[in-house]
Structure 1
Amino acid sequence: MTKKDFAYWKKLHDGDDLTEFNTNSTGQLWLKIKSITRKELLSEFTARLCLNLTSTTLSGQFEELFCLLETNSSQSHQQLDAYIREKNLQQLQELDQEALVSELYKLKTFEWGGDYQNSLDKYLVSHYVKVISSYEVLISKFETEINRAVQGYVLNSWYNHWSSILIEHLFKAHSSVLPAVGQIKSVDFFIQNLPFDLKVTYFPSEYLRLKRREKELPVELTFLKQKARELSVNFDKSAKSSEIYYEITEKLKDRNDELSLGVLDQIRSQNLTIVGEAQQNSKNLIKWLYENQGEMRFGSENRLFLVLIDTADFSSSWKLKRNLDLLAPAINSFLNSFSSKPTSDLTVNFCYSGKSQTFTALSDVIFVVK
């Protein structure tokens, strides 16, 4: 039998094999120690316990402290929890929540300004650097395209970063949550010693399309084009799909007659039925989210999904990231009732394209609906 020492837990963590951490107190202790493995934190924590570490490197001190603390795991958990909660309280007090929310409300539109998926630099290289040989043409693109792409990328990334910090603090302020003080790969916080990675997302458009197809409902854009022709609503047929969708829906809203609004209401009603079914049986959505994650960011760790939905306009769901009136009650309600959830309700099994094994994780979803 393999000895479950420091190297054992390190190998599991480095290999993204986190399942055993869910049920093993020593593994959870390893994660908590890793969360304070920063020079100033380790120094402060060990000084409080009157421990003298002889190792001179952080990695060495991490292993040395683990070996010392695992001899009395129960007491060590209590000591670590108390220290981590103290540091978390300091961090919470340093954040001016109201001021941050006010800053986030200054962003009026959420447009990336390009069709890149993961990397702005790859987008710029593939669309401009390697395509345009003329210096003058390239310079002209700064006025019409490149500045807009860069500005959109920076503004949206800024909004996502600071709204994520705001949301994480809502979780970390709850008494049942023990945060990872320092960053740990695949762990944002613990709920009743279970490690979770928080994922803030919107109701996935691809999942919506899948469920519409399963219900034999028409593709939204196809349906809108058909209805536009029936109602004599002109649109630019050469535009991008997203632009055609926007043009038709806006023109139908502007006409504001019974037939036009009925088209939009029909799509909205169908989509809200799918959302309602996902809320009633969230495991289907969770499984889909795991199985359709990006290859570069693949992970099988425990995940807590915060799904934001503006039922009046799905494309405006990004605004809910700063809406504390909706976020806080939904998050606190979930955390208040978490202790009553059996592990079987959290367990999800999923497969991933290109990988032979079946993965198992603990996961749940919080729906924030406007």
Structure 2
Amino acid sequence: MLELLNYLNLKDKMDFNQALELLENMLKERTDNGSYSWGKKQGNLSDRKTDFIYKIRSYSALLEKCQSENLDRPLTEYAKNRWLNFKSAQAIEAMFSQHHSVRKEADQYHQSIDFYINNINFDHKTSQFPRGFGHNLEYALKNKKEIIEWLYKNQSTERRMHFENRLFVILYDTKNKQHWKLKSDLRGIYTKITDYLDNFDQNALIALDQGLLKDGKPSNKIIYSDVIWYVK
């Protein structure tokens, strides 16, 4: 709770759901405004030019900063999407940390661990349903291991690329197929995550050979993953 309030730069007291609603309204200013076009290819150079997004609270302040930095339109779109993804990811991490079975990783800069569920380490990754997967939602729901393997093999090669334990939160918009907009639907996502944690079963996790994922060569290292679906 305190973590999310600090994240929102708030001093007054409110419960977690109130804080979540406030942040959701902020994020909807982005998801209700324009398309999800990155403008530029994701990479370290563009990241460095837009790293100011970590310090910006509101969408209006973000737009002002992009203007004051004289960013061109492609880089402005890049910054808008990074800001949305960062804010949403931080909120989702706070959702996990709210649960009694979850312990947050002490090192906030850890590259592959966000938290522990019943002492099993995970990081989390929120993704819109991947267009490149090549199958529809019904297939993905029935073939969880296959989509998890696809997500590992097709993850970004920047900063947090790794092949360790990971929980995927996958968003699917059944009406308009604008899956990215669900990143702002924080209260709905919170309900799904809480339900998953209430019924967490480590024996139901998907076990994967790390070596096969990384370079196609078997190894003795087994990693664990799962998917939390948010379909709306």
Relative to the length of structure 2, the TM-score reads 0.74
| Count of residues in Structure 1 that have an aligned counterpart in Structure 2 | 196
Q: SS of the counterpart of 2:192?
A: helix
Q: Report the alpha carbon displacement of residue 152 of structure 1 after superposing the two structures with TM.
A: 0.8
Partner of residue 162, structure 2: 299
Structure 1 residue identity aligned to 2:23: L
Match of 1:106 in 2: 29
The structure 1 residue matched to 2:96, chosen from 171, 180, 193, is 171
The residue type paired with residue 117 of structure 1 is Q
Q: Percent identity?
A: 33
- Residue type of the partner of 2:167? L
Instruction: Summarize the Cα distance change of 1:153–1:276 in structure 2 as closer, same or farther, 3 Å threshold.
Output: same
In the superposition, relative to structure 1, how do residues 313 and 189 fare at CA in structure 2: closer, same or farther (>3 Å)? same
Q: 1:342 aligns with which of 203, 208, 219?
A: 203
Match of 2:130 in 1: 204
Q: 2:89·2:125 contact (CA, 8 Å) conserved in 1?
A: no
Residue 341 of structure 1: how far off its partner (Å): 3.8
Higher relative contact order by CA 8 Å / sep ≥ 6: 1 or 2?
Answer: 2
Larger Rg: 1
- 2:82 aligned partner, one-letter code: S
Q: Does 1:188 align with 2:100?
A: no
Does residue 1:148 correspond to 2:10, yes or no? no
Of the three residues 285, 291, 298, the one matched with 2:147 is: 285
Separation in structure 2 between the aligned mates of residue 113 and residue 288 of structure 1, nearest angstrom: 22
TM-aligned CA distance change 1:151 to 1:115, over 3 Å: closer
Question: Which SS does the other structure have where 1:111 is aligned?
Answer: coil
- Inter-partner Cα distance in structure 1 for 2:214 and 2:186: 37
Structure 1: give runs of 5+ residues left out of the alignment.
1-88, 125-145, 212-273
The counterpart of 2:3, out of the listed 77, 83, 91, is 91
Rounded Cα–Cα distance in structure 2 between residues aligned with 1:294 and 1:98: 30
Q: Is the 8 A contact 1:320 1:326 kept in 2?
A: no
1:319 aligns with 2:153: no
Q: 1:110–1:156: 8 Å Cα contact kept in structure 2?
A: no
8 A contact 1:308–1:368 mirrored in 2: yes
**Where do residues 62-73 of structure 1 align in structure 2 (5 Å cutoff)?**
none
Aligned counterparts of 2:120 and 2:77: Cα–Cα separation in 1: 37
| Partner Cα distance (1:281, 1:331) in 2 | 20
Of 176-185 and 359-368, the range deviating more from structure 2? 176-185
Does structure 2 conserve the Cα–Cα contact (< 8 Å) formed by 1:177 and 1:192? yes
Backbone CA RMSD of aligned residues: 2.8
- Give the secondary-structure state (helix, strand or coil) at the position aligned to 1:287: helix
* CA distance in structure 2 between the aligned counterparts of 1:292 and 1:152, rounded to whole angstroms: 22
Counterpart-to-counterpart distance in 2, 1:324 and 1:369: 13
Tell me, yes or no, if the aligned pair for 2:163 and 2:213 is still in contact at 8 Å.
Answer: no
* Aligned partner of residue 361 in structure 1, secondary structure: strand
C-alpha spacing 1:121/1:295, structure 2 compared with 1 (3 Å) = closer
Q: What's the offset of the Cα at 1:199?
A: 0.6
Partner of 2:138: 276
Match of 1:189, as an amino acid? F
